[in-house]
Amino acid sequence: MRIDFPPIRVFAVVMVTAICLLTPLPGKCTNHVGPPKPSCETLPQAALILMPIARTVILNAGMYAGLVILWPHAFAPKQGTTDSFRESFSTPPYMNSKQVFFQLDDDPWFINTILHGIYGSEVYLSARTYGHNAMIGFLYAAFASTTWEYLVESWFHRPSGIDLIWTPFAGAVIGELRFQLMRLILRRVPSRGVRIALVSLLDPLGQLERLMLGCRLGDENGCQMAR
């Protein structure tokens, strides 16, 4: 059987772009206003560890609320069963061998590729902006995917094998792309207001966190991102 993977082309473009952005660029930030705020990477170690976990909890809660609103007949709390929860831990993740790769759990390909990739990238990006390296970011994304599949969706159906595999890998690629774009903006965009606007578009949840924590997003050039 011939398997067609149209999302692979988009994914390949994303990967090439991310690799290109990894090349270090010279330059310094300008238009600092007042003394620079402390970098988020200098927060207490416990906060650096817990912030990506907090992002995971918030995302999982928000996604579940969205499922309840969109498909109450399938995801309302009363639809969940302990039998389904037990089965999730006693049987392998669900994969339908009759489906193409990105629909192995019977969900549309754009949910599995794009939406789950963005979900994973949110947690990955959180880890990177709090000073963790790419491997730790990947592990946080895998942790997020596992908690979603086994602690939330497991009450309604078995965890998805393709989601467990794809989410951390796609999340790492998309998240690293976002992270490098943010660093590029800090180095290359001279206007402080434009920098804030662009980074807020790339990382809205992170920008809210930095506002609450009173810290800045920085890179090795000491670029300041105002609260």
How far apart, in whole angstroms, are the C-alpha atoms of residue 107 and residue 148?
A: 16
Mean confidence (pLDDT) of the chain: 81
Q: Averaged over 107-130, what is the pLDDT?
A: 88
Indicate whether 103 pLDDT > 70. Answer: no
Indicate whether 208 pLDDT > 90. Answer: yes
pTM, entire model:
0.80
* pLDDT tens digits, 14-34: 444 444 444 444 445 544 445
pLDDT for residue 36: 61
C-beta separation of 48 from 41 below 8 A:
yes
Q: Averaged over 33-53, what is the pLDDT?
A: 83
Residues 6 or more apart whose Cβ sits within 8 Å of residue 15: 173
In this structure, what are the phi and psi dihedrals at residue 139, rounded to the nearest 5 degrees? -65, -35
Sole residue written with tokens 């019977």: 106
How far apart, in whole angstroms, are the C-alpha atoms of residue 201 and residue 227?
A: 14
How far apart, in whole angstroms, are the C-alpha atoms of residue 124 and residue 136?
A: 8
* Predicted confidence band of residue 105 (pLDDT cuts 50, 70, 90): low
How much is the CA Rg of the chain, to the nearest whole Å? 19
C-beta separation of 39 from 227 below 8 A:
no
Indicate whether 74 pLDDT > 50. Answer: yes
Indicate whether 152 pLDDT > 90. Answer: yes
* pLDDT tens digits, 46-73: 999 999 999 999 999 999 999 899 989 9
